[in-house]
């Protein structure tokens, strides 16, 4: 999988690209992640990427020319899906992650300030993606969230394919509870079934707990809205 990122803060991606699963995926050639500084496509001495909004009001708007230059140069003749991270986008969920893992090369565009000139959207953006109904200062953290979720879909990135298959949301449910040693923590014991050695019973217990938890915390995932909100 190849992902290009355009940002005014490329340095934010350095530790991200060097750590844990992502670091190993890049090193092992399973993921190619190229991060580009948007200012490379500016033409003035101050390498300006923003300007005041037409119509007035507060804040600054990212201007179109650097974005257009970046997208056109980086995509060239390649078939690339160009994604702008923004709170106005389609909400990221497991379904969208799986869709995007299938479309081939991606270009992630990290907006900042009050937003990006609308003509960027019209001319070079295929899809806008939001990671939730709250506003961050830029698209960098959302881009990392998307990259991390996508990389888990690349065969070989997560050691045991089984652990991706078992991820929360895979079958429209939250995850079941997990336990490890020590067996007793401040008086709380591991459920007996998990140390019984009866694998069929363990599987039944896990399915039941996942379903109960989903019904209580996220009834919307089960197609109903009447659970308790006890998160």
List residues with catalytic annotation. 87, 114, 152, 167
Parallel, antiparallel or unpaired: strands 81-91 and 106-110: parallel
Separation between Cα atoms, residue 75 and residue 81, nearest integer Å: 9
CB of 129 to ligand ADE, least distance (A): 6
Stretch that binds ligand ADE, among 28-36, 79-87, 166-174, 201-209 (CB under 6 A): 79-87
User: Is 69 among the residues that bind ligand ADE (CB under 6 A)?
Assistant: no
CB of 217 to ligand ADE, least distance (A): 21
**Cβ-based nearer residue to ligand ADE, 61 or 210:** 61
- x/- site string to ligand ADE, residues 133 to 172, per CB under 6 A? -xxx-xx--x------------------------------
Q: What does the angle CA 203 – CA 209 – CA 210 come to, to the nearest 5 degrees?
A: 90
User: Is 115 among the residues that bind ligand ADE (CB under 6 A)?
Assistant: no
User: Is 188 among the residues that bind ligand ADE (CB under 6 A)?
Assistant: no
Among 3, 38, 71, 85, binds ligand ADE (CB under 6 A): 85
Separation between Cα atoms, residue 57 and residue 52, nearest integer Å: 8
Among 6, 8, 31, 131, binds ligand ADE (CB under 6 A): 131
Binding-site residue total for ligand ADE (CB under 6 A)? 12
Contacts of 5 (CB under 8 A, 6+ apart): 13, 33, 34, 35, 36, 107, 108, 110, 143, 147
CB of 13 to ligand ADE, least distance (A): 15
Task: Specify the DSSP class assigned to residue 174.
Answer: P
**Cβ-based nearer residue to ligand ADE, 7 or 130:** 130
Among 23, 69, 87, 227, binds ligand ADE (CB under 6 A): 87
Burial class (CB in 10 A: 0-12, 13-18, 19+), 95: exposed
Is residue 113 within 8 Å of residue 60, measured between CB atoms?
yes
User: Is 7 among the residues that bind ligand ADE (CB under 6 A)?
Assistant: no
Contacts of 7 (CB under 8 A, 6+ apart): 13, 35, 36, 37, 38, 110, 138, 139, 140, 143
CB of 179 to ligand ADE, least distance (A): 33
Q: Is 147 helix (H, G, I), strand (E, B) or coil?
A: helix
Q: What does the angle CA 43 – CA 10 – CA 97 come to, to the nearest 5 degrees?
A: 115
Give residues in contact with ligand ADE (CB under 6 A).
85-87, 130-132, 134-136, 138-139, 142
């Amino acid at each position: 999988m190849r992902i290009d990122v355009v940002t005014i803060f490329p340095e934010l991606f350095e530790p991200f690209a060097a750590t844990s699963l992502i670091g190993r995926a890049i090193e092992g050639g399973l993921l190619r992640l190229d991060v580009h500084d948007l200012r490379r496509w500016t033409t003035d001495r101050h390498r300006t990427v923003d300007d005041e909004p037409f119509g007035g009001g507060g804040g600054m708007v990212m201007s179109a020319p650097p974005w257009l230059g970046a997208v056109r140069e980086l995509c060239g003749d390649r078939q690339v899906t160009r994604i702008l991270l923004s709170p106005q986008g389609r909400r990221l969920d497991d379904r969208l992650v799986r869709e995007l893992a299938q479309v081939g090369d991606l270009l992630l565009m990290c907006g900042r300030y009050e937003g990006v000139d609308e003509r960027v959207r019209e001319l070079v953006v295929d899809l806008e993606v939001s990671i939730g109904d709250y506003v961050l200062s830029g698209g960098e953290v959302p881009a990392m969230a998307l990259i991390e979720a996508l990389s888990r879909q690349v065969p070989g990135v997560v050691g045991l394919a089984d652990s991706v298959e078992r991820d929360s949301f895979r079958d429209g449910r939250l995850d079941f509870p997990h336990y490890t040693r020590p067996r007793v923590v401040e008086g709380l014991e591991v459920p007996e079934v998990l140390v019984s050695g009866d694998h069929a019973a363990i599987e039944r217990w896990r399915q039941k707990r996942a379903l109960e938890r989903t019904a209580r915390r996220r009834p919307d995932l089960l197609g109903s809205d009447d659970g308790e909100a006890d998160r």
